[in-house]
Amino acid sequence: MCEYDYLIVGAGMFGATFARLVADDGKKCLVIDKRDHIAGNCYTEGRDGIQVHVYGPHIFHCNDDEIWKFVNRFARFNNFRNQPISISEGKIYSLPFNMYTFNHMWGVKTPQEALEKITSQKLDLEGREPQNLEEQALSQVGTDIYEKLIRGYTTKQWKRDPKDLPASIIKRLPVRLTWDNNYFNDKYQGIPEDGYTVMFQNMLKGIEVRLGVDYLANRKAWDEKARAVIFTGKIDDYFDYRFGELEYRALDFDTWIEDTENYQGNAVVNYGDSDVPWTRIIEHKHFTPGNKSTRTVLTKETPANWSSEKVPYYPVSDKANADRYSKYRELAENEEKVVFGGRLAEYKYYDMHQVIDSAFKKYKSIG
Ligand code: UDP
């Protein structure tokens, strides 16, 4: 007889969602995490009355009623709408690409004028699918926007030529001929008013959680505790890097406080120029509009090369890593007692709602 139905390794979005589903079904689970806090990279921390997104900005958005209903059980969401701006060569542009962007770029005032301008400089793919990120961007918005707002940012972010990156990375950015600055097309969007950490505390209510414990250092003893294991850590780490390391993009965060109420006037300001090392500056208080703090917390985000002591952020979607991942995936399928899920175990550039969806599906298939 095992002590628990499930041992869940990782208290991030996949682990916490799975744990909630298990507990709601009246089954018993234990959640462990090697960090000293829950919530994975969604973790937020209060500073000066401001919720700071410690591992980078997390803006929740989805189209799915079931997922939206699920997260609203654990947090009151505000109606934050992500409307980033980008600075390039000293000028400010709106994101995603919309009439404000086209107006600032070319002075055009109507959708027809914008369309003409885009058509005059966009790459004609003659009916074929874009083969890479550069083709995707050039065929959608043309040369000016690509050169000013995409090429520099993307090269800094991924440290690769946009020609060597998949089109899918940028497909998530809408292109609109309307005066609409909303970064996402989704029906639902917002940020938990009290921060993500409180949301995760609520998700994990009544569930046993042990922090600061390393599953892989003692996996046999942990495995004996449960009927099944849900592993949400790095899949290559689980298999002792047998086929080599999977690569990630890492980030360096430089966080500081300014003694002023409002520093940059927006939650997210991107930097398109390639000679500015950082990709964006986050002003955390603007994620909760109406925040009354007299000071402000900012984070400068600079992409960094991957090394195993860094926090893994973005899986790198190139062929070498995809091939390596599929070898690990094959091994994972033969692990009888262990289920792999989440960004690190599935090696996928996931949004939060996609992680929840993946946990729902996994639970339905094995729960
Ligand atoms: N991107 C860009 N310029 C920008 C913002 C994004 O070229 O100002 C591209 C870039 O390739 C990036 C991708 O769009 O990797 C997706 O950006 P998003 O901000 O959605 O990614 P996040 O880092 O928030 O996951």
Environment class of 90 (CB within 10 Å of its CB; exposed 0-12, middle 13-18, buried 19+): exposed
> Looking at residue 172, what is its pLDDT?
83
In this prediction the pTM is: 0.96
- The CA distance from 34 to 233, in Å, is 10
Q: Which listed residue (176, 238, 313, 325) is catalytic?
A: 176
Lookup: tokens for 148: 């000013």
User: Mean pLDDT per 10-residue run, the chain (367 residues)?
Assistant: 95 98 98 98 97 98 98 98 98 98 98 98 95 97 98 96 93 94 97 98 98 97 97 98 97 98 98 98 97 97 95 92 97 96 97 98 91
Based on the residue annotation, tell me whether 280 is a catalytic residue of this protein: yes
What is the CATH superfamily name and number for domain 4-82+189-247+316-366?
Answer: NAD(P)-binding Rossmann-like Domain (3.40.50.720)
- The CA distance from 249 to 316, in Å, is 7
Residues of the chain with CATH 3.40.50.720: 4-82+189-247+316-366
> Looking at residue 326, what is its pLDDT?
98
> Looking at residue 160, what is its pLDDT?
93
Pick the atom of ligand 1 nearest to 172's CA.
Answer: 20
> Looking at residue 308, what is its pLDDT?
87
Pick the atom of ligand 1 nearest to 84's CA.
Answer: 8
**What is the 92 CA–ligand 1 centroid distance (Å)?**
16
**What is the 265 CA–ligand 1 centroid distance (Å)?**
20
Contact assessment for residue 354 and residue 9, using Cβ atoms and an 8 Å cutoff: no
Lookup: tokens for 166: 């998949």
**Ligand 1 pocket, CB under 6 A:** 86, 95, 149-150, 153-154, 157, 169-170, 172-173, 270, 272
Based on the residue annotation, tell me whether 301 is a catalytic residue of this protein: yes
**What is the 107 CA–ligand 1 centroid distance (Å)?**
24
Based on the residue annotation, tell me whether 349 is a catalytic residue of this protein: yes
First CA to last CA distance, the chain: 18
Lookup: tokens for 41: 């990279």
Phi, psi of 250 (to 5 degrees): -100, 170
- The CA distance from 128 to 279, in Å, is 31
Residue nearest to atom 11 of ligand 1 (CA): 154
> Looking at residue 345, what is its pLDDT?
98
